[in-house]
Each structure stands twice: as structure tokens, then as C-alpha cells.
Structure 1
Amino acid sequence: MSAAPSLPAATPAYDEAWFAARAQAGVQRLRAYDPGHDLVALRRKFGAAQLVELGSNENPYGPSPRARAAALAQLDQLHRYPDPLGADLKRALAAKHGVSGAQILLGNGSHELLMQLAQVFAAPGSEVAFSRYGFAVFALATQAAGADMRIVEALPREAAMPAGHDLDAIADAIGPRTRLVYLANPNNPTGTWFDRAALQAFLARVPAETLVVMDEAYAEMVDRGEAADFASAVELLGAHPNLIVTRTFSKAYGLAGLRVGYLLAAPGLVAVMERLRESFNVNGPALAACEAALADEAYLDSACARNAEQRTALSAALRERGLRVFPSQTNFVLVEFGADTARIESELIARGVVLRPMGGYGLGDCLRITVGDADENRRLLAALDAVRA
């Protein structure tokens, strides 16, 4: 077998820097999304049954049995392309949310949709505004589009809703170049939320030509007893044509492995977004599973109720240990560990307990902890006691 021909001596080194220099300007500034730890390697090291995975905000109870059965029933159709329109799932979503099918766009997770919104509506020379400590994809989407980031300071940690969105400050930051505003309610990674009155007051201040993207990835998990004043932006779509709501099946519905999200907005906006949507971007088993999951409201309610119960118990246990726990209406809590954060996180990993470090968000003294089931939370607390002893 002959050796591969060698490159001429004058050939440049085709490394990452060489290719980056030839990328468009927005990509040159970009850093890849950080998914956290290498969970596949950790599962091999500890064994899937022994590893306590509390870093990715997954639903520990899994999906509805109906969703699982629907996905499995599609496996004999893997040689066929899925419905490119996702019509059946759109009909189910339209019925759930009281919108038309023309107001729905499906995505390969809401991540894809958040990126595409900036790709379509932002550009070099324009601005995109979002809060500090907002979802990491907001910054990635802005930079990829070549737009300027307008990062607005969050509420101070001493506030009643610490590190949450300061909606008044965000409204003040909107200028003539602001094409998009990204918000999350509840917010990842802080878990904080804002109420109906604050949302309505904010939207009233936003110019009609500025689009507001409301990421509601965790909306199903809000405990309406604890947060009776919470309101989904879906209720306000009719009054605000510049409003966009994104949701996902990855969190409350327990279908993170199938990667499905959706967007609700004015039909005209969806029509423009369809021009960029990748063909067949949601696979057949995923379409079937999500439609079945929507139909099993009892299972969703049960999973969310168990999450709320464990969130309350876990938060109380952490506070009893002298830790500051941010208020949350999600399936995770943000916890302040102070100067020992990096050591604690590292020693927990060594014990097979995975949490999410927050240095990339500018919250290096905090860890984000997914709310697990009762056994996972017990194992987390035992490991935490050991490393803090």
C-alpha cells in the first residue's frame, strides 16, 4: 500500500485558526456551545446506574408510556422520510394552545429555532438585547448572525428575585438598531421568573418593529400554587404580532433524546422562517412521540407535580446546610457555594455526581442542580455532605 502523498513544504497548516480566518465574521467571534461534562465517558466510568446525572435539566421520570410506544411503532418506517410539514403534531399543538397551524414552526429542539431567529432577523449592524445570566444560546445566536450583543444587567442578588431579568432595564436598552430581544420565563440558569403584570408592562414599551422572543422551555413546570401570578406569553400572541414563543419537549415531557421544539408566532413570521427551515428537520419517531405525549396530560401533570415536590424538598435540604438557593419554578435550582465551588464540583464528579458548573455564565460561585427523583436527590445530598465535611 503506497503512502499518502505529502503536502508541499509551503502549504499552510490547516489548523482551526487557519479555517477560522476564512469563516464569516460572526463565526470568527463564536465559541461552541458548552454541553458541560462528557456524560458518555462518565457513564462508562461509573456505570449508568451508579452515575447521578443532575447537570442537564432532564426529566428523571422519563416520557409518557404512550410517547414511548408511539416512537417504537415508527421504527418499521425508518426507510421513509418523515412528514416534512409535521402536520399531525402541528394540529395537536394548535388545539392545545388555541392557535392556528400557520402559527407553528417545528424545530430540532428549541435551540435550533432560537439560532434561526437571529439568522433570519438579525444582521451585522443590528443589535440583539438580552439579560445577563440569560440562556447561553442567546449570545451564540447573536454572534453567529454577526449582530451586536446588548447585554443588560440582571437584578442584583439582593433583590427579591435575584439575578432575574430586569425588564425595565431591558426596555430602556432597546434602540433603533434592536431587531430582537431574547427573554426566558422561567429563566435558565437562574430558575427565576416574572409575572403577568410585568410581562404586559414590558411588551407595551417594546416598539412594534422589535421582535420579542420568549423562551418558555420550562413553562410546564411552574407550580401555579407557588407562582399564581405567572402567565405564559402564549396568551398574549394575539395582542402582540411582534411576540414569539418557543417551547420544547425536552424538559417536562421527558423527550430530550428526540430533540423537538416548536415556535408560536404570527403566521407571517412563521412563513418567513419556513424559508430557512431545514427539510425533514424533525424525525418520524419524534413526531409520533410528541403527538402522543401531548395527548397524555395526566402523565405530564404527574411528572410536574413530582418535580415540584422534589424541588421544594431539595431546596429546603440545601438551605438547611447553610447554602443559598435561588428561587426557582423549573426542574433545577441554582445554588451559591462561594469560594469552594470549583473544589466541591470536582469532588462530586469524582464520586459520580454530575452538576453543572456556571463559570461560563459568569456565576462561577454557583452550581446548577437538576431536581432528580427522591433517590437521586438523597445520593446528591449524601455526596455533598461528604465533600463539605
Structure 2
Amino acid sequence: MQWKSQLHDLKAYQPGKTMEDVKEQFNLEKVVKLASNENPYGCSPKVKSFISSAAASHAIYPDGYAKQLRMKVAGHLSVEPQQLLFGNGSDEVIQMVSRALLDHTKSTVMAAPTFPQYKHNAIVEGAEVREVPLDGEGRHQLGKMLDCVDETTAVVWLCSPNNPTGEYIRKEELIDFLDRVPSGVLVVLDEAYFEYVTAEDYYDSIELLQTYPHLLVTRTFSKAYGLAGFRIGYGVGSMDVISKLEPIREPFNNNSLAQGAASAALEDQEFIKECRKLNRNGLRQFYEFCEISGVRFLKSQANFILIDFGVSGDEVFRYLMSKGYIVRSGEALGYPQSVRITVGSAEQNEELISLMKEFLALARQY
């Protein structure tokens, strides 16, 4: 087989252990997963009502244009329907962008560490990957990223709030960056955690689209809307950008049930407001634990927190998993002495904090 040379050392995405796997391995009755930044409160009651009453024929292809969902999202964001591109999760939107713009003659710029699919897809397309380390507070160094842009650069990736640090890009620095990036370079602004943001100096990315036609914003229904299992994400951009990406989209890439669930979810913004409030409360639980325990952490605008325990993240991960809590080791995220923890319910957070206190007490004995 004549495989692309860049595939020889490329590893497939490795999902974490399932809750059933952990129950079996450690003989546990209860396991809580706080590793993938899912919404601990599930989805809106309106989604549950839709699913219980959905009677569409499964023998018929879904609406390939996702018209109902498209119109609802367009109305919610006050954009034209032609400014939207729907994907099987925002991961697929990232893949479409990479396929459309990257090849062995192109370069792409991103932060490090950040969401790994930017780099993964760039490697598949054979592009040169230029990574700029985050600063000590987990923030994008936009000036240094700009220095990496040249005539070969096709795409710049920004993740705000950033995964895995939870930090965000401030309005003034984003505008300055967009003013200076060449108009022929697509800037992809990944806002997977947008609904959780409470920072006052956060920007309005949809408003910025009117000024910067080389900007593409990506969002998802997987996080705050609680629809990770349905795989619905989307991009918002100028009509010109979307018209170039749309032919790359696979036909019927969003199934009928997912489209209906996302439409129902969008109607319940009170649910999103409540989840945002509960998430802030949960973050404060973790902040208090870190401050009292003397461990380093990064303040987050997302629904997760990165905590530095000063030892291998794998060690912390294994201890907590043995006690029934699955988190994400920072070993695979670029922060080897940290773990990334999804903010759970108040009760889940309290239980996990107790376990982390136990771990620290044991670790500090040696």
C-alpha cells in the first residue's frame, strides 16, 4: 500500500477508559467520569421531550442542508443561514478546514498545548505545523504566533477558552491580532466552551465577523448543551468562506435525531444560564481546594480546571480512578504534572476534592 508518508508515525485518537471498564477493573459500584468536559447536568428538558416524541422514519436520509437547525442557529446568532457550516461535531469542521486549505506546500500556526485535532489534521494533509508555546499562565502568545505567519501560512488556529488550560483571549488583543494577520490567512477561532464564559473582557466573535471576513468561528452542542453523544458542531463565517468549505462537507453528515435535538436545545437558553452559574460555583470549589492545599492551578473560563500536583499526572489519575473518579492526566496534554478535571455537580466536586486531599496527604509523606 502506498500510504502517505506522514501517516507512518501518526497515532489514532485514544479514548479513555469507559465507566464500565473502571467498575470492572477496580470492583467498584459507582464511577464518575470527569475527564471529557461533558455537562454533568445532561441536556435541557426540551431535548428529552423531543427525543421521547420523535417519530421520524429511520429509513429516510436526514436533511443534508439541516434547514430547520440552520434557521434556528442563524436566528439565534443574527447571521444569514448561508454563513453556517454544520459538522459531525466541531471536529469535522476542523477537518474540513484542513482539507480545504492545507497541503505539503502550506504551513499552519497554533498554540501549544491546545486542542490536538488542529495538529492532527494538519499532519494528515502534509502541512508544516508551527507551534507557539503558551505563556506561564496558559495564554496564547499572539505576538509570537503572528511572527510565525508568512506567505506559506494558510490557517491560524486559536482556541478560546483554550483546552486544556481554560484561559481565554482578551478582546483588545484579539482585535489587534486580527488587524495584523494577512487577509489571505484564515483565522479559526474555536469557541467550544463559549457558553461557559463569564469574563467581562471577552469579545463578541459573531460581531467581529462583520469586520474580519478571514475569521471563522467554531462552536458545538457537545459541551454546555449536553449533546456530546449526538455530535453536532458548526462554523460561522463570511458567505465566501462558507461557500468554499460547504462542498467538502460529507452529504447527510448530521443525522435527523441530532438535528432535532440541537434545535430543541437551542430553545432553552435558561438551561444554559443555569449551567453557567453552577459551573462557576463548581470552579470556586476547586479554587478553594487549590488555595488551601497550596497546589498550583489555572483559573478557567471553561467547564474544566487544570491542577498541578507536582508529581506525574498519571499517578494522580490512577489513584483517583481506583477510587471511582475518572479525570484526564496532563501527561498527554502537555502538562505532565497536572490533571484536567471536568467540573461536576457540587456533590461530585466535593467527593473528588476529598479524594485529592487524601492523595496529597499520602504523597507528602514521602
Give ranges in structure 1 of 5+ residues lacking alignment.
Answer: 1-18
1:112 aligns with 2:92: yes
1:212 to 187, 197, 201: 187
Query: Counterparts in 2 of 1:186-197, with a 5 A limit?
Result: 186-197=161-172
> What is the percentage of aligned positions where both structures have the same residue?
33
What SS does structure 2 have at the residue aligned with 1:246?
A: strand
* Cα drift, residue 40 of structure 1: 4.3
Q: Which amino acid aligns with 1:121?
A: L
* Aligned positions of 1:230-249 closer than 5 A: 230-249=202-221
Partner of 1:61: 41
Q: CA deviation at 1:174?
A: 0.6
Q: Structure 2, unaligned stretches of length 5 or more?
A: 362-366
Q: What amino acid sits opposite 1:309 in the alignment?
A: N
Separation (CA, whole Å) in 2 of partners of 1:46 and 1:73: 39
- Give me the whole-angstrom Cα distance separating, in 1, the residues matched to 2:55 and 2:349: 35
Letter in 2 for 1:41: D
Q: In the TM superposition, what is the alpha-carbon distance from 1:38 to its structure 2 partner?
A: 3.9
Alignment map for 1:1-389 (pairs within 5 Å): 22-45=2-25, 50-155=30-135, 157=136, 162-223=137-198, 227-389=199-361
Cα distance change, pair 385–366 in 1 and its aligned pair in 2 (3 A): same
Q: CA deviation at 1:361?
A: 2.6
TM-score by length of 2: 0.95
Deviation at residue 351 of structure 1 after TM alignment: 1.1
Q: Relative to structure 1, is the Cα distance of residues 277 and 47 closer, same or farther in structure 2, using a 3 angstrom cutoff?
A: farther
**Which amino acid counterpart does residue 153 of structure 2 have in structure 1?**
T
In structure 1, what residue type is equivalent to 2:114? G
Give the conservation status (yes or no) of the 8 Å contact 2:90–2:234. yes
Cα 1:95/1:353, change in 2 over 3 Å: same
Q: Residues of 2 paired with 1:32 and 1:353: CA distance?
A: 25
Q: Secondary structure at 1:182's aligned position in 2?
A: strand
Report the RMSD for the aligned CA atoms in angstroms: 1.6
Counterpart code for 2:204: S
Q: CA deviation at 1:350?
A: 1.1
- Residue identity in the other structure for 1:106: F
- C-alpha distance in 2, partners of 1:146/1:135? 18
Query: Is contact 1:26–1:147 with CA below 8 Å preserved after alignment?
Result: no
Displacement, 1:270? 1.4
Q: TM-score, normalised by structure 1?
A: 0.89
Question: How far has the Cα of 1:115 moved from its partner?
Answer: 1.5
Which amino acid in the other structure matches residue 168 of structure 2?
Answer: W
Task: Report SS of the residue matched to 1:77.
Answer: coil
Q: Give the superposition deviation at 1:219.
A: 0.7
Give a deviation string over 1:105-159, Cα, whole Å, max 9, x none.
111000111112111111112101001111111111110111010001211x2xx
Q: Write the letter of the residue equivalent to 1:304.
A: R
Compare CA radii of gyration and give the structure with the larger one: 1
Indicate if the aligned counterparts of 2:298 and 2:305 stay in contact, CA closer than 8 A.
yes
Deviates more, 1:274-283 or 1:378-387: 378-387
- Tell me if the contact between 1:29 and 1:143 (Cα under 8 Å) persists in the aligned partners: no
What amino acid maps onto 1:124 in structure 2?
H
Between the aligned partners of 1:152 and 1:270, the Cα distance in structure 2 is: 28
Counterpart-to-counterpart distance in 1, 2:186 and 2:15? 28
1:65-114 deviation line (CA, Å, top 9, x unaligned): 10122133325522222111100101111111111010101110001111
Q: Give, in whole Å, the separation in 2 of the partners of 1:272 and 1:175.
A: 22
